[in-house]
Amino acid sequence: MQEREAAIRARAHQLWGNSGHAHGQHEQHWRLAKRRRILGYTVFN
């Protein structure tokens, strides 16, 4: 479980960086990262 959460956290952080460190979008980034993790995405665009 901790490995899964760490992967989601890392992906959400990457999404945040890709968005130009947009303020106030952390929940959106977390949901997208979690959804992609659940769906089994291994390559993130």
Q: How many CB atoms lie within 10 A of CB 13?
A: 14
pLDDT of 12 = 93
Residue at 45 is within a domain: no
Q: Mean of the per-residue pLDDT values for the chain?
A: 86
Q: What confidence score (pLDDT) does residue 45 get?
A: 46
Helix, strand, coil in percent for the chain, rounding step 5: 70, 0, 30
Residue 19 lies in a domain: yes
12 part of a folded domain: yes
Phi, psi angle pair for 31, to nearest 5°: -60, -45
pTM, whole model, 2 decimals?
0.74
How many domains, in total, are found in the chain?
1
Contacts of 4 (CB under 8 A, 6+ apart): 37
Instruction: Kindly list the distances between the CA atom of residue 38 and the CA atoms of 2, 23, 35, in Å, as whole numbers in the listed order.
Output: 14, 25, 5
Domain residues for the domain of 12 are 2-39
Report the pLDDT value the prediction gives residue 30, as an integer from 0 to 100.
94
Within a domain: 30: yes
